[in-house]
Structure formats: structure tokens, C-alpha cells
């Protein structure tokens, strides 16, 4: 007997027929003797519709009201699944965020879970009741509904698994696992049987949409074994595990790409102390994350060009800030470009292998792809390139690192 | 300065454009210096969709899960209205049933409000904040969401007005008041400027869909002045008031009809003590309300025919009960008929006027309409007739009681 958290996303609960399919999977898990908690998203499309209404209502949101509106979708799916399971003769009940409660901080729209009071849930799960929990939502210190940001149901599931000391958190989705690259681009992409938490974290941060970044952080910190698998097939999925559970570590586990960044260049910036602070200080104060930074000498030699990336969603705000900065520091021009893509090569084996970065640069150079910026971590190398080369770069790198399926 | 509760139904909050219209009305009320609480229904059609999903999920509902699902719609509209009002520069916030809380009993699906804790609301309303309250929903003793039955937002509004000691409860709807008869049938129907609580209660019970019956009961018991008016025009509405506020009392204020009943006849029932108890006891135990009852001698003289009405929605259940009863009491046959309509004539002036019932019988007789059953109260006479004669009967009675507009 194990204690399992099962999470189903929007496409898995799209309509009553699919909710019945979810119920079958839950019933099978219960029949195996496990204690089961289920976390659900809203029906696919519902949250988008709700978000669209909030935009139409007022371009400037009160985040507390936004949360009240967009949290409505999960309330519907959890009640419906409880009904279907009850109709099949199972003991089940739905739980809203405020009922458990799932306590979060007060950052409406992107709240962080602080505590989940699981005593009542555990007691009922021990008695054989399936706990069906609304994903994405919690209760803030102001006694109002909070939401965890897009994809937040993954986070609810993993945080609940951690609080319940669950044996596993199964994330059911519309793909059957984590791939070495996006299979829509790389036809020879392979499904990974196992991946480390750290690799999964980098992949999620660098554009792989299979899991929300925050959920992987929680899984890593609380050592929750996570499995990504399909609601629509019985194929085995991908296990996200601790590094010591993988004996044969691949040098590179996956190639990702992300179009979520935009590039900004300030030309002819005076090369003197305090200039970087004058540029990046106002962005930091406005909560805009700067990622890749490249400084290059201007042709005339007494000034530099500064290029960096910001999240595309923050580009307008960043440019407003920088227009002011440009005057102040006397830069010649300020240029924004959003036709860029960040391509990343990820793998824990990189730590103990030299030449990984070099192979990346060489592979891209051979295809005539210019690298506009570079950033690295211990287990990741990212490059910024022209968006038109996305597919070419990802496919070439996939082959170059020996990831292609036979 | 007054304290006003404004309630808007589903058609009034159908989309963002209409929610903006609601916001304009709320802003105008606030601009007049009033303290304002707003009660909203879900967008028109939403609750029907949610109910349909619950039926599809499982024909036998867990009422607690049903309530969780169907209460989602109001959460959306209150958040959106708060956003629109804030966008207009007003101070406003949304309140869910469990946040106030609106405490109800535990009868899920048709809960009754027991208490509304209004202290926080009043404090904020005094500071100029508009309280936007989800209609239809409350919090049960089991800490779960309850709903008040269809049309329950009217009840929320009137109960909130009573708890807030509001000066008036304005029910905004898609008609501009209470009419002497359904204007879709009687083109010469007149809008009433005033109507007594008791008349309104009878009209609501007897088929006028303008207000939920329970809301009128609360208005009557707590002496809440209610106004019914249109969200889409500035025409004055109908005031529902205490009887002593109406000087000139009409003998008849309105004609209603209801297709919500079905007729059951048991033929050749032995005329002996205990038979009525044997028939109506099981129905009462199964919570089926029997309304009109007619007992008539059978042609052979030693038995009787028994005819009565039950809510159409309970007809199947009633017939299952009565099949057993029929065997037991040895009745000859059991016949159900649902092509019947109950037409009612309502007016507080009836109390002091003779001949009101007679005029009704005579008017119907002149049109060749057969009366199948009769029931009366102090201020109402109802007759059951063949449904095919509905329009004819309502129009003839409207004219006979002098209600036609000039």
C-alpha cells in the first residue's frame, strides 16, 4: 500500500467523458490498495476564458479580484470528478483551497504555498476516501482566494505530495513523459525513462512546458518522486528522481528552446564605473529579471555596446525604464528585438565532461548560426540566436549530442 | 443617505458589456451618497450549463458536490464587477458566501440562510467600499458550500438587506416590474406601482417568475421594502410593501398561471375511514407536496374518485408510491395527467369583498372552460384547468376583474 497524489491537467478534464477516463484511472489506483489524493486543473480553455474576461473588465487588475475570478474553474472539475467517482461506488469528496486550507503568502496572482494542513485529509484517506483537491488555488493571509500562477496545479500536486509524505506524485498530462527535445520539432526525440530533479528544473525553466518550474523546485527540496505520464495511454512515463538514483548519467539529457525572451541593446554606452548599476538598478526595482548580458567594445574604442535579455512579457515596461536611463547615461541608441530564441543544452553529466560547450558552438557555427549571447550554469549552456533558426539549431544539437533515437 | 442592496440577475451580467452597465448603475447610486451592497447571479446560462454537467456526471447527485459545482458562476461575476468598478475609480471588493460568512443550514441544494455576519461589511460600506456579494451561495455547518435553490440570489439579496437593516432592496431584472398578468400573454397587462408582500408571495408561489418565493417571505417577515425594476431602462419599477402602505386596495391585483403541477386521479376508492391517510401518508413521507384535492362520488355511489395535484417534478416519484397504495386500498385505476395548468386570481381586497370567486367561475363557464379542481386562501383563488385553455382563461379573467390597461 502506498500513498499517491495523482494530478490531471486541463486537457485530461476537458469534458465529462474525459473526467470519466480520469475516474477510471483513480479507481484503478484505489483498487490497488493505495491511499489516493487527486489534484485537478480547470477544464482546458476555461482559465483562458476567465483571464480574457478579467482583461476585458479592466486592463489594470486588482490581483485579488483576478484570483477570485480565475480560481472558479477548478471548483467545477473537482465537484464533477467527485460525483463521477461516487456514481461508480467510490468514497470521494472535493476540497477547495480554503477548505483544507492550502495557506499561501499574499502575493495574489503568483502566490507561494506556505503550509498545507493535511490532518483531516490524511484521516479521511486512511478511511478510504479519495481526496479531490482544487489545483492552482490557495487561501491568503487576508482570507481571500490566491492563485499560484499559470501551471500552478503542478505545484499544488507536488506540494500536497510533500505535505502528505506521499510515496509518489503522478503528473498525468497530454504527453507521455519528458523528451530529449520537443517531439513536434525533433521527430527522432526520445522519451527519457528517468531524469534528475536538477535537469528537470533547468528544462522547465528553459522552455520545456511539461512541468511548472516551481513544482520541480518543491519536488527537489522535499525529495518527492515525481512521474510524468499520459492520461490517454498506458505507456510508462518519465520518473523525475534524485541524482543518486541514476547510475548512468548522460552528458546531455535534453535540448530545449524558449521564445519567452526579448533582446535589448544599448549602443555606445560610456565605459565608466556606475553605468551598469544605472542601467540594471531600475529594472531590478521594477521586478524585471535580466538574464543574458553581453558587453562588447564599440568600434571607436572609448565606449561599449551592452546587450541583454528580459522576459518578453516585461519588454514594454523595460523599454519605458530604459528610455529614461538612456538620456541619463548618454547612450547613443536603444534597440529592442523580440525575434530571438534561447536554445539550451542540459545535462548533469556536463559537470564531469569537458568540451560540451565547444561542441555546441561548433555545431551552430557549421550551420552558419550566429550566437548573440551566452549564459551557462553547472548543468546547462544557453545561447541566444535568431528565432528563424530555432528548428535547425535544436535538430542539429540533438544529433550532435547523440540523442537521436535509432 | 441611505443603505441600499442592489441585486442583478443573470441576463443583467450576461457579458462584460452588461456588467459595465451594472457598474454604471452602482456608481450612480454611490454618487448619490448611499452605502451600497450589490448581489449578483451568475452569467445567464452558466448555472444551467453547470447543472447539465452535474447530471451528465452522475444521475444521482451528492448534493454537496452539486453545490460546489453550481456555486462557481457567481464567483466569476462578482470578481469581474469589482474589477470594472475599480477601473472606474470606485472602492469595491467581492465577497464569497464563506468569506462573509452567509451561514446556512445543511440542506445542500436548497439551503436556508440562518445568519449573515455583516459587521465587516458594514464597517467597509461606511468607509465607502461597495460590497459585491455572490448570490445563491452560503456556508453550511459542515464548512462546505451550500446553495439556496434556483432563483436563490433574490433570497441572498433580501436576507442581506434584512441583516444590514437596509433602507431598500432593489431587484434589477429583465422586466421593469410586477405586472397584473404575464405581458407575453395579456397585451393589456399593467405594471403595478405597488403590491403588498402577501400578494407578491402568492403571485410568486402561483407562477409569476419575477421573484423567488423564499425571498418574498423574508421581505415580509423582516419588513424589507423591495423594489423590482429593469436593468435596461430607467422606468420606475414596482414597490413591494406592507399592506398598510397601500391606501386604495385593489380587489384583485393580478392573474397568474403555473404549469408546474400535474394531476393524479385514483378511481373507485372505497369510501371508508383511513383511506385518505393511506394515500397521502406515503407522499408526505417522501416529501411530495399535495396541493388541490377533490373528492367526488363514483357513479355507483359506494366509492369515490379522488383527484389531487403534485409538483410536476415529483410526478414520477408520486406515481411509484401510489402504484403500491392502489393495490393496498383496492382502487380501480390510477391516472396521471400533466396537461393541466393552475390559474390564480390574487388580491388582498378579496378579504372584504364577496363574489370574487363567483365571478371567476362564471367567467370561465362562459368560455366553456371546465374547472377540474379548486383551492383558495384568504387572498387567492386557484383553479385547475386544461392547459390548452391557459391564454383564454388568463385574458378573460384579466378583463373580468377590470385589470385591462386603457
- B75–A64 CB contact, under 8 Å: no
Output the DSSP codes for A323-372. Answer: HHHHHHHT-SEEEEE--EEEEEEE-GGGGG-SSHHHHHHHHHHHTTPPP-
Of chain A, the percentage scoring pLDDT greater than 70 comes to 99
- B87–A60 CB contact, under 8 Å: yes
Mutate which of A67, A74, A80 to disrupt the B interface (most B C-beta within 10 Å)? Answer: A80
Closest residue of chain B to A69, computed from CA coordinates: B76
A185-190 mean pLDDT: 94
Closest CB from B69, B76, B143 relative to A79: B69
Distance between CA A256 and CA A189 in Å, rounded?
Answer: 11
- What tens digit of pLDDT does each residue of B301-345 get? 678 888 999 999 899 999 999 999 998 888 889 999 989 999 999
Q: Is the pLDDT of residue B133 over 70?
A: yes
B63 inside 8 A of chain A by CB: no
Residues of B in contact with A144 (CB under 8 A): 99
- Per the CB < 8 A criterion, the answer to whether A313 and A261 are in contact is no
Mutate which of B14, B27, B74, B80 to disrupt the A interface (most A C-beta within 10 Å)? Answer: B80
Mutate which of B79, B97, B120, B139 to disrupt the A interface (most A C-beta within 10 Å)? Answer: B79
Q: Is the pLDDT of residue A294 over 70?
A: yes
Q: Is residue A82 very low, low, confident or very high in pLDDT (cuts 50, 70, 90)?
A: very high
> How, if at all, do strands A373-377 and A380-386 pair?
antiparallel
Structural domain ending residue among the three candidates B114, B142, B174: B174
- B69–A62 CB contact, under 8 Å: no
A317-323 mean pLDDT: 93
Q: Is B210 a member of any domain? A: no
Determine the structural domain holding residue B22 and report its residue range. Answer: 3-174
Closest CB from A65, A75, A87 relative to B94: A65
Q: Is the pLDDT of residue A377 over 80?
A: yes
- B62–A69 CB contact, under 8 Å: no
Closest CB from B54, B76, B84 relative to A83: B54
Residues of B in contact with A143 (CB under 8 A): 99
- A87–B53 CB contact, under 8 Å: no
Q: Is B224 a member of any domain? A: no
pLDDT the model gives residue B174: 87
**B66 and B168 co-located in one domain:** yes
The secondary structure of residue A174, as a DSSP letter, is S
A89 inside 8 A of chain B by CB: no
Q: Is A23 a member of any domain? A: yes
Q: Is the pLDDT of residue B23 over 70?
A: yes
pLDDT the model gives residue A150: 81
- Per the CB < 8 A criterion, the answer to whether A340 and A384 are in contact is yes
Q: Is A287 a member of any domain? A: no
> Looking at CA atoms only, how far is residue B209 from chain A in angstroms?
28
Domain count, chain B: 2
Closest CB from A54, A83, A144 relative to B65: A83
A52 inside 8 A of chain B by CB: no
Closest residue of chain A to B18, computed from CA coordinates: A57
Mutate which of A76, A85, A124, A144 to disrupt the B interface (most B C-beta within 10 Å)? Answer: A76
| Helices marked H in A236-314 | 275-285
Q: What is the ipTM of this complex?
A: 0.85
Q: Is B227 a member of any domain? A: no
Closest residue of chain B to A50, computed from CA coordinates: B76
Residues of B in contact with A49 (CB under 8 A): none
Q: Is A307 a member of any domain? A: no
Distance between CA A314 and CA A286 in Å, rounded?
Answer: 10
- Name the more confident of A59 and B226: B226
Structural domain ending residue among the three candidates B174, B203, B219: B174
Q: Is the pLDDT of residue A214 over 90?
A: yes
**B155 and B26 co-located in one domain:** yes
Q: Is the pLDDT of residue A302 over 80?
A: no
Cell readout for A272 is 565608466
- What tens digit of pLDDT does each residue of A13-38 get? 999 999 999 999 999 999 999 999 99
Instruction: Count how many residues are written for chain A.
Output: 406
For the ranges A312-326, A346-360, B19-33, the maximum mean pLDDT occurs at B19-33
Q: A71-85, A197-211, B216-230 — which is least confidently predicted?
A: A197-211
Which residues are within 8 A (CB) of A379 and not within 5 positions of it... i.e. 6 or more apart? Answer: A198, A199, A202, A346, A347, A348, A350, A351
- B82–A65 CB contact, under 8 Å: yes
Residues of A in contact with B84 (CB under 8 A): 57-58
- Per the CB < 8 A criterion, the answer to whether A237 and A176 are in contact is yes
Residues of B in contact with A82 (CB under 8 A): 62, 65, 68
pLDDT the model gives residue A300: 67
B87 inside 8 A of chain A by CB: yes
C-alpha distances out from residue B225 to A355, B180, B207, B219, Å: 82, 20, 22, 7
A16 inside 8 A of chain B by CB: yes
- Per the CB < 8 A criterion, the answer to whether B310 and B328 are in contact is no
**B164 and B266 co-located in one domain:** no
- Per the CB < 8 A criterion, the answer to whether A237 and A227 are in contact is yes
Closest CB from B16, B62, B75 relative to A56: B16
pLDDT the model gives residue B300: 67
B58 inside 8 A of chain A by CB: yes
B75 inside 8 A of chain A by CB: yes
A357 burial (CB, 10 Å; 0-12 / 13-18 / 19+) is: middle
pLDDT the model gives residue A134: 98
- B144–A99 CB contact, under 8 Å: yes
Q: Is A277 a member of any domain? A: no
pLDDT the model gives residue B207: 81
pLDDT the model gives residue B12: 95
H or E segment to which residue B103 belongs: strand B102-104
Residues of A in contact with B96 (CB under 8 A): 68, 145
Determine the 3-state secondary structure of B262 from DSSP.
strand
Mutate which of A79, A109, A129 to disrupt the B interface (most B C-beta within 10 Å)? Answer: A79
Q: A179-193, A239-253, B124-138 — which is least confidently predicted?
A: A239-253
Residue A169's DSSP bridge partners are: A5, A226
B57 inside 8 A of chain A by CB: yes
- B80–A57 CB contact, under 8 Å: yes
The reply to whether omega before A101 is within 30° of 0 (cis) is: yes
Instruction: Count how many residues are written for chain B.
Output: 406
Residue B403's CATH number: 3.30.2130.10
Residue B39's CATH number: 3.40.1160.10
- A69–B57 CB contact, under 8 Å: no
- What tens digit of pLDDT does each residue of A340-367 get? 999 999 999 888 888 899 999 999 999 9
Q: Is B212 a member of any domain? A: no
A248 burial (CB, 10 Å; 0-12 / 13-18 / 19+) is: exposed
pLDDT the model gives residue A244: 85
Chain A, residues 256-315, CB within 8 A of chain B, namely none
Structural domain ending residue among the three candidates B131, B156, B174: B174
Angle at the Cα of B151 from the Cα atoms of B145 and B153, rounded to 5 degrees: 60
Chain B, residues 111-150, CB within 8 A of chain A, namely 143-145
- B16–A53 CB contact, under 8 Å: yes
A94 inside 8 A of chain B by CB: yes
B152-171 mean pLDDT: 97
Closest CB from B57, B94, B143 relative to A84: B57
Q: A60-64, A176-180, B74-78, B216-220 — which is least confidently predicted?
A: A60-64
> Cell 528544462 sits at which residue?
A203
Amino acid at each position: 500500500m502506498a500513498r499517491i497524489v495523482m494530478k490531471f491537467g486541463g486537457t485530461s478534464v476537458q469534458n465529462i467523458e474525459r473526467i470519466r477516463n480520469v475516474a477510471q484511472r483513480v479507481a484503478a489506483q484505489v483498487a490497488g490498495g493505495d491511499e489516493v489524493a487527486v489534484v485537478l486543473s480547470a477544464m482546458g480553455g476555461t482559465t483562458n476564458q476567465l483571464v480574457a474576461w478579467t482583461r476585458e473588465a479592466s486592463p489594470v487588475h486588482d490581483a485579488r479580484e483576478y484570483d477570485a475570478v480565475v480560481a472558479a474553474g477548478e471548483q467545477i472539475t473537482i465537484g464533477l470528478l467527485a460525483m463521477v467517482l461516487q456514481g461508480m461506488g467510490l468514497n470521494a469528496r472535493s476540497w477547495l483551497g480554503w477548505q483544507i486550507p492550502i495557506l499561501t503568502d499574499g502575493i495574489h496572482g503568483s502566490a507561494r504555498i506556505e503550509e498545507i494542513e493535511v490532518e483531516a485529509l490524511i484521516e479521511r484517506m486512511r478511511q478510504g476516501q479519495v481526496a479531490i483537491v482544487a489545483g492552482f488555488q490557495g487561501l491568503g493571509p487576508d482570507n481571500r482566494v490566491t492563485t499560484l500562477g499559470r501551471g500552478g496545479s503542478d505545484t499544488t500536486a507536488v506540494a500536497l505530495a510533500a505535505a502528505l509524505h506521499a510515496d509518489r506524485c503522478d503528473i498525468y498530462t497530454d504527453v507521455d513523459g519528458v523528451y530529449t527535445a520537443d517531439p513536434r520539432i525533433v521527430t527522432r526525440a526520445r522519451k527519457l525513462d528517468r531524469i534528475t530533479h536538477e535537469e528537470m528544473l533547468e528544462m522547465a525553466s528553459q522552455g520545456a512546458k511539461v512541468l511548472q518550474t516551481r513544482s520541480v523546485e518543491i519536488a527537489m527540496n522535499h525529495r518527492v518522486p515525481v512521474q510524468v505520464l499520459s492520461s490517454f495511454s498506458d505507456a510508462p512515463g518519465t520518473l523525475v528522481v534524485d541524482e543518486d538514483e541514476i547510475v548512468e548519467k548522460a552528458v546531455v539529457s535534453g535540448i530545449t528552446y524558449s521564445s519567452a525572451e526579448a533582446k535589448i541593446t544599448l549602443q555606445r554606452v560610456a565605459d565608466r564605473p556606475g553605468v551598469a548599476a544605472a542601467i540594471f538598478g531600475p529594472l531590478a526595482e521594477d521586478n524585471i529579471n535580466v538574464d543574458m548580458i553581453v558587453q562588447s567594445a564599440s568600434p571607436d574604442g572609448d565606449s561599449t555596446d551592452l546587450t541583454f535579455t528580459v522576459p518578453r512579457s516585461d519588454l514594454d515596461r523595460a523599454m519605458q525604464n530604459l528610455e529614461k536611463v538612456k538620456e541619463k547615461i548618454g547612450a547613443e541608441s536603444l534597440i529592442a528585438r523580440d525575434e530571438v530564441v534561447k536554445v539550451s543544452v542540459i545535462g548533469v553529466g556536463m559537470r564531469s565532461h569537458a568540451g560540451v560547450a565547444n561542441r555546441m558552438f561548433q555545431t551552430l557555427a557549421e550551420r552558419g548560426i550566429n550566437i548573440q549571447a551566452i549564459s551557462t550554469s553547472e548543468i546547462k549552456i544557453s545561447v541566444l540566436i535568431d528565432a528563424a533558426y530555432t528548428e535547425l539549431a535544436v535538430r542539429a544539437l540533438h544529433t550532435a549530442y547523440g540523442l537521436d533515437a535509432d
